Amino acid sequence: MYKVLVCDDEKDIVSAISIYLTSDGYEVIPARNGLEALDIVKHNDVHLVLMDIMMPVMDGIEAMVEIRKISNVPVILLTAKSEDTDKVLGLTVGADDYVTKPFNPVELQARVKSQIRRYMLLGAGNTSAGKLVIGGIELDDKSKTVTVDGEAANLTRTEYDILKLLMEHPGEVYSPNQIYAKVWKDEPYGTENTVAVHIRHLREKVEINPAEPRYLKVIWGRGYKIDAE
């Protein structure tokens, strides 16, 4: 049974999410703030984290930063409509996705299912083995590592998946919706901003000068591609 950590300081929200997820067969572990969530991730085998941003003691952004130091577990942030800046910041520090409150239960369940499926597939090593090399970027799919000019690049799982997709098809342009569908393995829900944030953060890790990228190129009005130098 997959375990989902649900962290929100509003008990009613935790209870509602628990009902939806337990009906899908997940075990729900509740938490009231980011500090509790971090402790649970440290001491439990958690398959996904659903976490609010605005919480006492430790907020979701702070918790996200600390979780990424110890775990690659998928994290979906729960955000209010007015928290657009925090959504972007959350994605930048390692969150995989976000759901805006008040949320649609069907959408929430679909996103949870999609993230856990990706997490388990990657963990089981079911992706094709081998190395991809473009210019100074080398991606080793067997060890799930990336180096840039010989230096290790510390990518999140989502950044790794996006890079792998583009490196497998050099020169081919992918729209944000296509990237989301292939990487998240789910139907896109207005996800252009989500993909753009991950691409921007990926550039910061693999480009010498992200403002003038050698590899990750944007094709205005169409999407993204990767080119050799």
Supply the pLDDT for residue 82: 63
What domains are there in the chain, each with its CATH number? Answer: 3-123 (3.40.50.2300), 131-226 (1.10.10.10)
Tell me how far apart the alpha carbons of residues 19 and 38 are, in angstroms, rounded to a whole number. 23
Higher pLDDT, 224 or 124: 224
> What is the arithmetic mean of pLDDT over 159-174?
90
Residue 151, strand partner residues: 148
The model's confidence at residue 121, banded by pLDDT at 50, 70 and 90, is low
Tokens representing residue 183 in the block: 């990487």
Residue 61, pLDDT above cutoff 80: yes
For the cut 50, the answer to whether the pLDDT of residue 124 exceeds it is no
Query: For 119-128, 136-145, 146-155, which range has the lowest pLDDT when averaged over its residues?
Result: 119-128
DSSP, collapsed to helix, strand or coil, labels residue 194 as helix
Q: Are 206 and 153 in contact (CB under 8 A)?
A: yes
Q: Going by C-beta distance under 8 Å and a sequence separation of 6 or more, which residues neighbour residue 144?
A: 122, 160
Whether 28 has a pLDDT exceeding 80, the answer reads yes
Beta bridge partners of 217: 225
Average pLDDT over residues 138-142: 85
Residue 214 pLDDT: 86
Contact 208, 215 (CB under 8 A): no
Residue 129 confidence (pLDDT): 45
Q: How far is Cα 72 from Cα 151, in angstroms, rounded to an integer?
A: 20
CB atoms < 10 A from the CB of 12, how many? 8
Query: Which amino acid would we find at residue 154?
Result: N
- What's the whole-model pTM score? 0.59
Question: Which whole number is the average pLDDT over 162-183?
Answer: 90
Tell me how far CA of residue 89 lies from CA of 12, 79, 92, 194, in angstroms: 26, 12, 5, 11
Q: Binning pLDDT at 50, 70 and 90, where does residue 127 land?
A: very low
Looking at per-residue pLDDT, the higher value among 166 and 185 belongs to 166
Q: 126-129 long-range contacts, Cβ below 8 Å, gap at least 24?
A: 127/164
As a whole number of angstroms, the distance between CA 133 and CA 128 comes to 15
Degrees, nearest 5: CA angle 81-195-72: 90
Average pLDDT over residues 96-125: 79
Query: How confident is the prediction for the chain on average, in pLDDT?
Result: 85
How large is the average pLDDT for residues 50-77? 90
